[in-house]
Structure 1
Amino acid sequence: MRLSTSWMYQQSLSTMLSQQSALSATQNQVDTGNRINVASDDPAGAGQVVSLNHVIAANTQYSSTIDTANTRLNTEASTLGSVNSVLDNARTLALQAVNGTLSASDRNSIASQLSQMRDQLLQLANTTDSNGNALFAGTSTTKTPFQMDANGVVSYGGNDEQQRSAVGAGLQVASSDPGSGLFMSIPMGNGTFEASAGSANTGTLVVGSNSVTDLNAWNSAASGSGGGYTITFGAGGSWSATDANGNAVLDSSGNPVTGTYTDGGSISFNGMTMAMSGTPAAGDTVSVTSGGQQDIFSTLTNMINALQSGSTTDTQLTNVMSRQIESIDQTQSAISSVQVSIGGRLDTLQQQQGAYQDLNVTYQTALSDVQGADAYTAISNLSLQQTALQASQQMFAQVKSMSLFNYLK
């Protein structure tokens, strides 16, 4: 068989190019630490690498979202703690205000303190997160959800929705709570009904704590009366009750509900009990209403107005303060429920974050197994390939010199 010089040259060149390509690939493995740098290195393995990288990227994104939600919820929890502190102080001042020995100047001083607390509550309600977004605006983009007018009336510009953060495939966690339920739509009275003394009363009757003692009886009676009653006092503490339509309230036997009240006693009918103190005058009334709501800012405004009104008697002031203290209690109850919920959500986020940290270790290990190069093997191969390439180059140099013309010289 005849071997031409050009064929030998081409064969040597192809061998050296192939060795250089292998040497370059091995050099790349040593430099990057990866066995698979392009899909052609291992098509099947490259597919696994892409899949694992997608999973790791998704987990990283979820972890970042969890960090953001954690920060937002912790800020909300801290803010609600501050709100509770302000309300505790306001409740203490309300109790101090009903002291009959206080002068008008003392009451005005308390009103001034309550005014500052109302402003502080407004500021806390407009707290923003680390990105400048309002904490208590729901999903609204408004920067200042609570606005106060010149009369101390506060309006809410947010909505009733909760912001939610995706922290896993099909898993979302609420990362905010709307201010409407925390500051605005607060049930009046004991949360079911409110009992309040008539503003035109002339006696010394003060309505104290009240509650539903028989829920079935209350629900049954309230459905027919609309939840509204008026208790009217006669001479000697006698009383009778009418419903919202002015009809006499009847007992289970069909007789009108009546009774006689004595100082420090209580009045009970239709599943509710109202504690009272003082002595009512004939014609004095107590109204019972259900379903009412009042925002916490109006609560403080009512307290301020009552303290600044020179015509308010001690009895009237005590009744006003008692109702506002009930409103403060209902607000703190709503805040407490949200705080418990926040704690549960933070626990969920912590568990989810821990799961992602564990999974990332697993996925990174799997990725290293598929994509990573064995350093010792790669360096050994690099040395062998360098030696082989050098041998090929030296052989080519020798073959190139084996020409007939060299012998004819």
Structure 2
Amino acid sequence: MRRISSGMNNADVQYRLRTHESKLNHSNNQLGSQHRIQQLRDDPIAAGHLVRYQSYKGRVDTFETNAQVLTERFSVREGYMNDSLQILHRVRELAVQGANGTYTKDDLANMATEVDELLKELIQNANAVDQDGNALFAGTNTKTTAFEVEMGNVPGSAIPLVATVTYNGNVDSNKVEIDENQYMNVNNSGNRTFWSEHQQLFTERDASGYQASADSVIGVDGHQIEIKRGDNVYAIIAKINDSGAAVKASIDPVTNGLNLITTDPRQLWLEDISGTTLTDLGVIAGNDQRPPYNLAVNAKVSGGSMFDSVIALRDAMLVGDQEAIGGRVLGTIDQSMNNLVTRVAELGSEYERAALNITRNSNTSLNVTQMISTEGDLDFTKAITDMKMLDYVHQATLSVAGKLYSSTLLNYMR
């Protein structure tokens, strides 16, 4: 029940005016922001959808950016790898010429000068950095020089030349998210890209009676393998072979020692993460040195890098050893080229996958933007019409209120 009083008209008019001004202000805010939803209570269901769509679009844009960065890095790496492949082609040409038996020792020594310069260029490519100063072929250890050069005296040369090239990076890889819970495993280890042969390791310690004395964890080519107390060498071999690492283990039928060989050209990467299993088996010398140069002194290792192949060619030319040039040296150079071609093909495949993700995420972003527009954008035609109606009603209300308040005290004093 409402109480009738002389102030009722004024109270009602003021209330209606404030309410109408609030609606008019809301309409003005919608037009100014171009968004239909100004507060959650305007449309709770649509607001909930809108928040989820906006969050998803942010993730999709991040996936697209990640894939774009990958394609750029892959392009830079591919350029250096293709250049290295051209260098190896020239090295092979020199090796074939030097092995045909028509050149004198002095001629071979002159060829060795060019081979040495090509070796330096190959090392320069392997130590390349990107625009941010990160090493391209050092795994995740991007702030170091990927390959370290050691100079030394070489027979047939009067000046020190490159004697050994050692790897300073690691074999760890980065996982980059390119879609919802979908990752690209990016591995840029230089001891895979610039390797020549399958590396093999033969231990001389009899492991037939070995049993792990405690739980431990070993690292094989970047994979962590858990060893349980009581595991014998055959259980360890099975775990290594089933780990997914590019390394196969076996027991030597003569020495009963543990043998390891990579499944493709790469350098063995072995370590005791916890415990001393590999040390006890005579595989590594302990944890005093970092991989890959922590192998046991008595272990026999074969299989080198493409730098070793080029160094071997240069050294054979300096001493005039044509038989070595046309034999093992030429064979390892061919293996180096085959491995580098394989790595370029892998990189090209990764580039194509990243490029496809860019296209898909770009299309997905457009679709999600349309969904956001449907839920949250303003219908300008309807909004302008509503605002004009509200403004018309507001002006009419003010006009009526003015007439209601036109009477003053003077009207009753006549």
Scaled by the length of structure 2, the TM-score of the pair is 0.69
Q: Deviations over 1:142-171 (max 9, x none)?
A: 331111111221111101122331111221
- Residues 1:5 and 1:150: Cα distance change in structure 2 (over 3 Å): farther
Equivalent position SS for 1:172: strand
Identity of aligned residues (%): 21
1:7-406 maps to which residues of 2 (within 5 A)?
Answer: 7-151=8-152, 152=162, 153-184=164-195, 186-187=197-198, 224=253, 292-309=302-319, 312=320, 316-406=321-411
Equivalent position SS for 2:166: strand
Q: Deviations over 1:117-150 (max 9, x none)?
A: 1111111111223432211111113331111111
Code of the residue aligned with 2:168 in structure 1: it is: G
Number of aligned residues: 313
Given that residues 65 and 167 in structure 1 are in contact (C-alpha distance below 8 angstroms), is that contact kept between their aligned partners in structure 2? Answer: yes
Distance 1:308 1:102 in 2: 12
Cα shift at 1:2: 6.3
Structure 2: gaps spanning 5 or more residues: 153-161, 201-250, 256-299
- Residues 1:11 and 1:318: Cα distance change in structure 2 (over 3 Å): same
Code of the residue aligned with 2:197 in structure 1: it is: I
Distance 1:134 1:114 in 2: 25
Structure 1: gaps spanning 5 or more residues: 192-221, 227-289
Equivalent position SS for 2:67: helix
Code of the residue aligned with 2:31 in structure 1: it is: V
Cα shift at 1:291: 6.8
Equivalent position SS for 2:194: helix
Which moves more between the two structures, 79-88 or 397-406?
Answer: 397-406
Cα shift at 1:325: 1.6
Given that residues 142 and 158 in structure 1 are in contact (C-alpha distance below 8 angstroms), is that contact kept between their aligned partners in structure 2? Answer: no
Q: Deviations over 1:222-270 (max 9, x none)?
A: 96468xxxxxxxxxxxxxxxxxxxxxxxxxxxxxxxxxxxxxxxxxxxx
Distance 1:165 1:395 in 2: 67
Given that residues 196 and 332 in structure 2 are in contact (C-alpha distance below 8 angstroms), is that contact kept between their aligned partners in structure 1? Answer: no
Cα shift at 1:404: 4.8
Given that residues 171 and 187 in structure 2 are in contact (C-alpha distance below 8 angstroms), is that contact kept between their aligned partners in structure 1? Answer: no
Cα shift at 1:81: 1.1
Distance 1:2 1:163 in 2: 76
Given that residues 144 and 169 in structure 2 are in contact (C-alpha distance below 8 angstroms), is that contact kept between their aligned partners in structure 1? Answer: no
Distance 1:27 1:16 in 2: 16
Cα shift at 1:351: 2.5
Cα shift at 1:391: 1.3
Code of the residue aligned with 1:305 in structure 2: it is: D
Given that residues 196 and 303 in structure 2 are in contact (C-alpha distance below 8 angstroms), is that contact kept between their aligned partners in structure 1? Answer: yes
Which moves more between the two structures, 18-27 or 59-68?
Answer: 18-27
Code of the residue aligned with 2:74 in structure 1: it is: L
Cα shift at 1:107: 2.0
- Residues 1:44 and 1:25: Cα distance change in structure 2 (over 3 Å): same
Scaled by the length of structure 1, the TM-score of the pair is 0.70
Equivalent position SS for 2:148: strand
Given that residues 66 and 178 in structure 2 are in contact (C-alpha distance below 8 angstroms), is that contact kept between their aligned partners in structure 1? Answer: yes
Given that residues 73 and 175 in structure 1 are in contact (C-alpha distance below 8 angstroms), is that contact kept between their aligned partners in structure 2? Answer: no
Q: Looking at CA atoms only, which structure, 1 or 2, has the larger radius of gyration? A: 1
Distance 2:89 2:110 in 1: 18
Code of the residue aligned with 1:302 in structure 2: it is: A
Distance 1:116 1:38 in 2: 70
Where does residue 230 of structure 2 map in the other structure?
Answer: none
Given that residues 316 and 325 in structure 2 are in contact (C-alpha distance below 8 angstroms), is that contact kept between their aligned partners in structure 1? Answer: yes
Code of the residue aligned with 1:397 in structure 2: it is: G
TM-align CA RMSD: 2.8
Q: Deviations over 1:295-314 (max 9, x none)?
A: 111222222222222xx4xx
Given that residues 72 and 176 in structure 1 are in contact (C-alpha distance below 8 angstroms), is that contact kept between their aligned partners in structure 2? Answer: no
Q: Deviations over 1:96-121 (max 9, x none)?
A: 12243323442222111111111111
Cα shift at 1:57: 0.2
